[in-house]
Chains A and B, each alone.
Chain A
Amino acid sequence: MAFTLRKDIADASRIINNTFYWTFISPFRGKPVRVRATVSEMVKAGYNSVPIVAVISFFVGIILALQAAYQLKRVGALIYVANLVGVSLTRELSPILTAIIVSGRSGSAFAAEIGSMKAAEEVDALVTMGINPIRFLVSPKLIALMVMVPALTMLSDVIGISGGFLLSVSVLDIHPYNYYQQSINALLVKDVFTGLIKAWAFGIVITIVGAYQGFKVEGGAEEVGRRTTSSVVASIFLVIIFDLFFTMLFYYFT
């Protein structure tokens, strides 16, 4: 037990090291990251997630506005719905919702793809062709998620706030201009920015967890399935841990 844990940690740190080396250092030594694969990963992870992120963010914006109104109405401060919706979305909910959606869609796909390649000896074949599997498979995914999770988070910010806005002006009878002004005043660049930093870190976490679980596959299809499931559970868990860490950091230092 203690032995396997130590081995797991060693494996994980090797994957983290290699991933960062092949993504950020080796391009400057003449081994560039594969551009076409990166674009294709961006489309799969980012562009194809737009509809689901948009719909979920819109509904969460509405839900937030309603929940906020439920409290604020009693103290006659209904206009502060704008603050609550804006701040909690940009600082917290957009990054975390996006990360959970991307874990489910892309993190699991990474684990399944790499795992089935491992099971079919395709990873071994890459090695014998002198192609580093991390550079070939993981670096494009890492870059894709480092760009796309923040991008989707920004989309989620905009659509979530629109959802809150639509509900407030229709159901809560807040004047659109007032809501707009209130949101602008409430939101600081800092709020949006810290959200995006979180999103960027979540992108890294999701890629590494997916890759780690994929490369762990030794056997066949059944193990690929198991690893895929673990990758989703583990990346959501780690995303929350990182969220806690960053939120504490931002609370004390910004």
Chain B
Amino acid sequence: MEHAIEVSGLRTRYGDREVLKGLTFSIPKGKTTVILGGSGCGKSTLLKHLIGLLKPSEGSISINGREITTLTEPEMDTVRGRMGVLFQGAALLNSMTIADNVALPIREHTKINESTLQIMVRMKLDLVGLSGFDHFFPSQLSGGMKKRAGIARALALDPETLFFDEPSAGLDPVTAAGLDELIFKLRDVFRMTIVVVTHELPSVFTIADHIIMLDKGDILFAGTLEGLRASDHPRIRMFLERKSEQEIYSPDDYFRVIAGD
């Protein structure tokens, strides 16, 4: 199998707290890879390393055969030119309309004339089900609509690799299913490599070809969906069966915990 991204020994810390503790994994080309894990386990941090926003304190990351941890900013920009990123909070520019947001990367990197540009923007917005919202500002959209506009912007330059941080969080089931279908289409029709961070189990079971599960900054599991389903690791089972992590306190213990002794 060909790999789009290869990471080895990735370590990083915020201050003196180690957030990623030596991750080694690879992401197959032309497939959908899902990064799973509990809240705060370092998924967004990992994604920011893959797109070159953060530099690891140790380890290497290579994207399509190119080591990115040692690139200069201009070199990194050429790598980024073939990536699309959806941030966890969508990160649309609030001072611009949705259409201008989607048009921004195209305007900056190509010399397409205005009317072709308008058509491209409308196509991207239609792809994510936002036709007719061109002239809305981000603040006038719902959370889910912002996410979709963010996806349209990530698709603007027809990237080879897409990174989605929680694309379906906060979406209704119907829209979320539509998004899963979009991810399928991007993989099958446009042959994109897609990396998705998500918590939504139904969506994981639909879209994932490959799964990487993190736990407290370590890799708990890496492999196929079948492998994940078959695993009997207690923490994986807990995640898949949606069990709570906390032990059940007896009323006396609980009282002791909240009283703080």
Contacts and interface: CB of A to CB of B under 8 A. Distances in A.
B92 A122 contact: yes
A78 interface: no
Interface string A110-121: 000100110011
A127 B53 contact: yes
Nearest to A121: B91
A124 to B, nearest CB: 5
A129 interface: yes
B43 to A, nearest CB: 15
B32 to A, nearest CB: 20
Contacts of A128: 51-53, 80, 83, 85
Contacts of B87: 121, 124-125
B16 interface: no
Nearest to A130: B77
Given A124-B48, A124-B53, A130 B81 contact: yes
Contacts of B83: 128
B245 interface: no
Contacts of A131: 104-105, 108
A contact residues, range: 10 to 19
Interface string B78-91: 00110101011101
A129 B48 contact: no
Majority secondary structure, A binding face: helix
Contacts of A127: 53, 80
A169 B78 CA distance: 67
- Chain B: interface residue count, which band? 20 to 34
Nearest to A126: B93
A39 to B, nearest CB: 15
B94 interface: yes
A120 B87 CA distance: 10
Interface in A115-151: 116-117, 120-122, 124-132
B178 to A, nearest CB: 23
Contact of A130 (B48, B92, B94, B109): B109
A69 B53 CA distance: 62
Contact of B91 (A113, A124, A130, A132): A124
Contacts of A117: 93-94
Nearest to A125: B91
A116 B51 CA distance: 22
A120 B153 CA distance: 16
A76 B133 CA distance: 73
Contacts of A130: 77, 80-81, 105, 108-109
B105 to A, nearest CB: 5
Interface in A80-132: 113, 116-117, 120-122, 124-132
Given A128-B80, A130-B81, 7 more contacts: A120-B94, A122-B94, A124-B87, A124-B91, A125-B92, A129-B80, A131-B104
Interface of B: 48, 51-53, 73, 77, 80-81, 83, 85, 87-89, 91-95, 104-105, 108-109, 153
Which 3 residue pairs are nearest across A and B when measured between Cβ atoms?
Answer: A125-B91, A121-B91, A130-B77
